Amino acid sequence: MRGTGILAEAVAKCPHGIATVCADRQRSWREVSERVPRAAAGLRALGLEPGGTVAVLAMNSDRYLELFFAIPWAGGIVAPLNIRWSEAENAYAINDSDAAILCVDDAFLHHVPRLRAEARGLKALVWIGDGPTPDGMDSYEEMIASHDPMEDAGRADDDLYAIFYTGGTTGLPKGVAMSHRAIGYGTVSYLALLPSIEDLSFLYIAGYFHFAAASALYYITMAGGTHVILPKFEPVPVMEAITRHQVTNMVMVPTMVNMLINHPDFDRYDLSSLRTCVYGGSPMPETLMAEAAQKLPGWEFYQIYGMTETCGFATMLRWRDHVFSGPKASRIRSAGQPAPGVEVKIAAPDGRILPPGELGESACAAII
C-alpha cells in the first residue's frame, strides 16, 4: 500500500472535480495533483531526505492539506503539531520526531523564535500562511512555482507516513507512528462505515493535528470528494459553509452538536444537504442526541470509538442503532459494533479473554 496513491485515485476518478475550498480559493483535483509533486521537490531542495520528518504547526488550510501528500511524496514523514500545546511541548515534539523542516502559518509565527532556538535538527522553515513571507523563511507558494514536479519517492507498506502526537495520561507526549499500510487500512475502514461514498463534500472544523480530523483527508480524497476547510469550529461559519457548499459529511464532538442546534440563528440556515455526521470524543447525552435527531431529520449520526493508536476507530454505532425507545433502546448507550476488519474482545487484568457480560478492558486487533 502506497499512501500517496490515494491522491492518484482521486485524480483518476474526477480530475476536474472540486478538491479543496478554503477562504476564497478553490482548486480541482488536477490542480492539487500538479502542486503536490512540485511542493515535494521544494522540500527535497530544502534538505528533506528520504525517511526524514517535516513538522507542521498551523490552522487548517488547503496548503496544510497538500502537505499531507507532498511530504510523503518527497519520501518524508508528516508530523502535525498540536495547536493547543505550549511552545515547549511542540519543541519537544519537533526534537522527538527529528524534524528537519517546520511549516508554520500566520497564527503561530510568534512561536518560531523559541522553536528555532530549541529544535536541534531544523534545517529550514516554510511559510504556509497568507501574509508576506517572513525573513528567514521559504514561501510554500514560491516553492511550488519555482520547482519542477518530482516523481513519487515510492515509499509504501511499512515505511512511515505520519507521526501523530497524543498526550496520553502520563509523562511526555507520545508519537504514534503510522505506516503507509496503516493509513491505507484506516482509509478503507472509514469508507466502509459510510452509507454512501458518492458526491461527498466534507467540512473540516477540528484541527488536522488530531487524527479524528486528519483521517478524512484520506478517505474523502480516495472517494474523489471535496474538502471544505475552516480554520476552527464556530457555529455561524459552520452553518454558512454547509448551506453555501452543500456539505454532505462532517465530524463533531457532542459539545459542537449542542452549540450548533441551540444557536439563536440555527433556523436561518439550510442544513439539509448534510447526510452523515460522525461524532465521538466524549459521551453523547441521550437527550441531546434525541434533540439533534428531531431538529436535523435528514442527518444520520454515527458514533465512533477508538484512539490515535487504532489509526481510525475500533467500534462504530450506526445510525440504524440510534433507537430512543422500545426493546432496542439500550443500543444507543453502547459503543456499537467492531469496525470493518477489527476484532474486539474484553480482557481481564491478567490478559484472559472474558465471556459476554463480564467487565474488563477492551482489546482490539486488526484481522486483515
CATH of the domain at 63: 3.40.50.12780
Res 367: pLDDT: 61
Domains of the chain: total: 2
165 and 57 within one domain:
yes
Res 336: pLDDT: 85
Res 193: pLDDT: 82
Residue 208 lies in a domain: no
Q: What is the pLDDT of residues 67-110, one digit of tens each?
A: 999 999 999 999 999 999 999 999 999 999 999 999 999 999 99
Residue 227 lies in a domain: no
Res 329: pLDDT: 81
Q: In the numeric block, which cell numbers belong to residue 28?
A: 480541482
149 and 247 within one domain:
no
246 and 315 within one domain:
yes
Which residues have C-beta within 8 Å of that of residue 171, sequence separation ≥ 6?
Answer: none
Residue 131 lies in a domain: yes
Res 122: pLDDT: 94
Res 283: pLDDT: 82
Residue 67 lies in a domain: yes
Res 124: pLDDT: 97
Counting as low any pLDDT under 50, the low residues of the chain are none
171 and 37 within one domain:
yes
Res 90: pLDDT: 95
The C-alpha atoms of residue 186 and residue 341 are separated, in whole angstroms, by 10
Strands (E), the chain: 18-22, 25-28, 53-57, 77-80, 99-104, 124-127, 138-139, 160-166, 174-179, 201-204, 226-229, 249-252, 276-279, 300-305, 315-317, 337-338, 342-347, 361-366
Find the domain containing 257 and state its range: 233-337
Residue 185 lies in a domain: no
Residue 102 lies in a domain: yes
116 and 41 within one domain:
yes
Q: What is the pLDDT of residues 345-367, one digit of tens each?
A: 889 989 899 998 889 888 776 66
CATH number at residue 302: 3.40.50.980
The C-alpha atoms of residue 167 and residue 126 are separated, in whole angstroms, by 26
Residue 174 lies in a domain: yes
Residue 359 lies in a domain: no
Q: Which residues sit opposite 301 in a β-bridge?
A: 277
pTM of the model: 0.93
Res 188: pLDDT: 87
The C-alpha atoms of residue 47 and residue 38 are separated, in whole angstroms, by 15
